[in-house]
A = this chain, B = another copy of it.
């Protein structure tokens, strides 16, 4: 719908000008014209070339000014140094979007980057959008629009369909396009983003969300630059019930280098991407094959939020393979109703009717067995997804037509389910099953993985809005990285409970504080110059009396001086020593792409050795926080494992949610927060941060 989003026009322009058009169909400026002519592009195609009256049999124009009409889209296939002027002309004429094939811009060094900047500025001046430069362009098999010079079409043009492909790589985007073609996956549009000087990956995804010809979006990403725009597009896709499957490769070196804080180094940039994609219901593909499997099945547009798998098989072994795969994928396979099991058993004594439902090779003698068993699985089992394993019997000429009839009968009666077949059959026969509404996956394991993804889409589409993030007062960040006591004061203002403690400048004051808090206490050195206190022996645990407090105070002064001569000594923090709780870590890291991200894990070895942590983008509500806490592998330790009482999950979740809001409100100066440890006390007794480090970008003085 171009009205809603002008970029949709880029996917299906009504008129196209090719600047730098070539009469040679193998040249960059010749290929798009050759492709569009051979594929019957219906819009107006206008080659621009100052030296020729005709290009590949079409009337050519000498210049942009000489075009008989303003094109929806212009393809720019001229040398980099000429491109800015061409783009300026196009923009001034009111062209909606330009696709710049030319290379030699930002990817080629500083000089190219300057040219690129100039070119984008010209385009923006008149509101023209720009794809590229260094882009392999746009392919739309349905309209025959080939704003691309990709040579993958030499082995065959892609077929029209409803999967949009958005790729940050031209070569790999074309590779995907070729595989989609060979797998019979129809494509609505394939857009390769190139340098993303203007139109970014998020823009492309958003255009596909707004494109009425696209149902499913497959994304290939190498380095996401427009976190906010991409997230907006993903949320729009979720609301429009358009599934997004994404292959995000590599780990950002920028992100890793920026990972200075404890929290960040524990999690890693790729885990942030995982968390963000999961938040928007995007299925992250592990391989090209996986991405296209999911995209292909998704074109059925059946996304069962309460997914379950019923299996009909002619091989017990295949049934086990499918059950194994479903368990790994987390896809439930409930048993058939007992009454139905009895009925099927009466029908066929050797059948295994539980689910997988094994109708054995007996169906070869009576084809209605396949139909009746499948009908039972669908109607009485009530599964949302149904997978039939018929292997080579589903492909054999002597069997397939009769089997097809049986299966089609069931499917037509219950068209609301997701139907898959695992058969070994010729491409023609596969097309027949596909036309009947059955998606064919030769490998049953791959079928199961794809089915599970449909359920995740459904859950994301139907997700009710969660609790709003808690209200947290705005807190001013200090001008520079604060010491522990200051950090805790900042957090306390944000409603984060800290262990009772007092900052004391003198030994006498410390004794008074300890008496007031109650023994045992912990003494910690207080200095803005010393962040990692325990490494210099700056923390004394289990101090039980006044004499100990006095001696400890002097010892900490001595240790600070020894470790860092001249360090500013501001006294000692006296804190009540907590016991009986479970140590946790709560943290914030600022991701350069997606903004602040919260982390939760159990303390000590659990994060450092076992890497058992969970992440979520900030801000979020207490419901999400509680889900995070319950999702870690070590969660049983919080819920009362090994005879211990369960901890105060509500208090812990509240702290995590408030921390996320604090981080969100704090803005980009907040680099990281580490609450380590937080003591999660037994139920009803709260949770308290015992140590806190906040890192901020220092304000210029």
**B-binding residues in A (CB < 8 A):** 108, 151-152, 154-155, 168-169, 171-172, 174-175, 178-179, 182, 220, 222, 247, 249-250, 286-289, 314-318, 320-321, 323-325, 350, 361, 391-393, 395-398, 424-426, 442-446, 604-605, 608-610, 612, 633-634, 636-637, 641-642
Contacts and interface: CB of A to CB of B under 8 A. Distances in A.
Nearest to A177: B392
A262 to B, nearest CB: 14
Nearest to A108: B350
A605 B641 contact: yes
A392 B317 contact: no
- Sort A-B residue pairs by CB-CB distance and give the 10 closest, nearest first: A171-B315, A169-B317, A287-B445, A172-B317, A250-B320, A175-B391, A152-B392, A178-B424, A249-B320, A178-B392
A323 B424 CA distance: 33
B171 A287 contact: no
A391 B152 CA distance: 9
Nearest to A290: B445
Nearest to A422: B175
A368 B182 CA distance: 29
A317 to B, nearest CB: 3
Contacts of A289: 443, 445-446
A286 B445 CA distance: 9
A210 B445 CA distance: 32
Contacts of A609: 633-634, 636-637, 641
Given A171-B361, A317-B168, A391-B171, A396 B250 contact: no
A430 B317 CA distance: 32
A324 B171 CA distance: 18
A314 B178 contact: no
B317 A424 contact: no
B633 A392 contact: no
A609 B639 CA distance: 12
Residue among A397, A444, A446, A605 with the most chain B CB within 10 A?
Answer: A605
A369 to B, nearest CB: 15
A151 B424 CA distance: 12
Copies in the complex: 2
A433 to B, nearest CB: 15
A250 B443 CA distance: 17
Contacts of A171: 314-318, 361, 391
Contacts of A151: 392-393, 396
A442 B324 CA distance: 26
24 contacts: A151-B396, A152-B391, A152-B424, A154-B392, A155-B395, A169-B316, A169-B318, A171-B318, A171-B361, A172-B317, A172-B318, A220-B317, A222-B317, A222-B320, A247-B321, A249-B320, A249-B324, A250-B323, A286-B445, A288-B443, A605-B637, A605-B642, A610-B610, A610-B634
A155 B316 contact: no
Given A171-B317, A287-B321, A609-B634, 10 more contacts: A169-B315, A169-B316, A171-B316, A171-B361, A174-B392, A250-B323, A288-B321, A605-B642, A610-B610, A610-B612
A325 B393 CA distance: 35
Contacts of A155: 392, 395-396, 424-426
Contacts of A314: 171
Contacts of A108: 350
A682 to B, nearest CB: 17
Given A154-B397, A286-B445, A609-B641, A175 B392 contact: yes
Nearest to A175: B391
B249 A398 contact: no
Contacts of A320: 222, 249-250
A636 B607 CA distance: 12
Contacts of A393: 151
A323 B642 CA distance: 42
A291 to B, nearest CB: 10
A444 B220 CA distance: 15
Contacts of A604: 642
A287 B443 contact: yes
Nearest to A605: B637
Contacts of A426: 155
A222 B324 CA distance: 12
A608 B642 CA distance: 9
Nearest to A393: B151
A609 B582 CA distance: 15
A315 to B, nearest CB: 3
Contacts of A361: 171
Nearest to A633: B610
A154 B398 contact: yes
Contacts of A636: 608-609
Nearest to A318: B172
Contacts of A424: 152, 155, 175, 178-179, 182
Given A154-B396, A424-B155, A391 B317 contact: no
A396 B152 CA distance: 8
A318 B170 CA distance: 11
A126 to B, nearest CB: 32
Residue among A220, A287, A396 with the most chain B CB within 10 A?
Answer: A287
Contacts of A286: 445
Contacts of A222: 316-317, 320
Contacts of A317: 168-169, 171-172, 220, 222, 249
A175 B318 contact: yes
Nearest to A424: B178
Contacts of A178: 391-392, 424
A179 B441 CA distance: 12
Nearest to A286: B445
Nearest to A155: B395
